[in-house]
Structure 1
Amino acid sequence: MTTTAATMISLSPRERQVLERLATGDTVAMVGQDLRLSEGTVVSYLRNAKDKLYGVSETEAAVAIGLALEVIARPPLEDPEQLFMPREQRDLVPYIARGMTAEQMAAQLRRPVTDVRADSRDLLSTLNARNRPHLITRSWQFRLLTAEQVIKWYR
């Protein structure tokens, strides 16, 4: 199923490069500087990649789909036994992978938005992630997200 879906989605080399760099926690400005592109050009490549990846609007969702369908390079896996994470933080991962806001997650989980925001900040710290797209990559590394989960959400 993954191979078939991946063959239908093809990112250009620059789209792939931009998305992979964002998945490592780099900012648009950093990607632009390193690739010698304007920030506007980086954003255009990212927008094109998102359109190809089921038309998602959030970068973290594009990273999740890109990893699941192997259209961007998958990071090396980490030992999940090395990770201590409270259930409240773990519960946020699938919602963040879908690009949901704190308000949307709070409504889904029936929790106060202030608690969801605090747990989101703590989750970034727990996973040693720089931002939400990087959080998705780190979640993948610790097997908190799987290809099957992500594909199911976007089918």
Structure 2
Amino acid sequence: MTISVARPQLAPRERQVLAGLAEGNTLGEVASRLRLREGTARGYLDLAKSKLFGARSTESAIATGYAVNAITQPMPLPPEQLLLTPEQRALVPFIAQGMSAAQMAAQLTRPLNAVRRDGRELLAAAKAVNPAHLVTRTWQHQVLTEKQVMTWLP
């Protein structure tokens, strides 16, 4: 069964801000590159989040944006090039939803320190600079998929 979700229409600046964050840039860096004030860039990000089914985090906005083709998906990379432990792999959808380490630990019934350690190791293994960039890197390696994201959309 295929889930059909209407594609949200993001304005060009909303797409640019979200795409810049997906590349691992900070909001300040994205704003500077786009010649915007940081507050203006945050406004575009907030608008994009609201259009992307009320995404609560940058990570969930990026994942949702990829899943519904509201932003350009990154070039896929071979899944076998990203070696993750099962514990690290289990964190990916939770990080993509913008959950905190404490929320993930509770969901997975694992010690908080173990979840934090696995999260740090996951970022390093994926060569991601921050959680938003991790969404992009795991999407590229097909660890995070459209099917997973669609399960949490309204």
TM-score (structure 2 length as normaliser): 0.96
RMSD: 1.2
Report the equivalent of 1:136.
135
- Structure 1 letter corresponding to 2:98: G
Report the equivalent of 2:123.
124
Report the equivalent of 1:93.
92
1:154 Cα deviation after fit: 1.1
2: CA distance between counterparts of 1:123 and 1:46?
25
1:3 Cα deviation after fit: 6.6
% identical aligned pairs: 50
Deviations 1:45-73 (A, max 9, x none): 00000011111211000000000001001
Q: Does the 8 A contact of 1:2 with 1:69 survive in 2?
A: no
Gaps of 5+ in 2: none
C-alpha change, 1:34 and 1:21, in structure 2 (3 Å) is: same
SS in 2 for 1:5: coil
1: CA distance between counterparts of 2:113 and 2:19?
31
1:32 aligns with 2:21: no
C-alpha change, 1:4 and 1:112, in structure 2 (3 Å) is: closer
1:97 Cα deviation after fit: 0.8
Report the equivalent of 1:84.
83
SS in 2 for 1:91: helix
Q: How many residues align?
A: 153
TM-score (structure 1 length as normaliser): 0.95
Deviations 1:4-40 (A, max 9, x none): 521xx11000000100110000100100111100110
- Structure 1 letter corresponding to 2:6: A
1:76 Cα deviation after fit: 0.4
SS in 2 for 1:76: coil
Deviations 1:72-130 (A, max 9, x none): 01000001112211111000001011110000000000011111111111100000001
Runs of 4+ in 1 over 2 A off after TM superposition: 1-4
Gaps of 5+ in 1: none
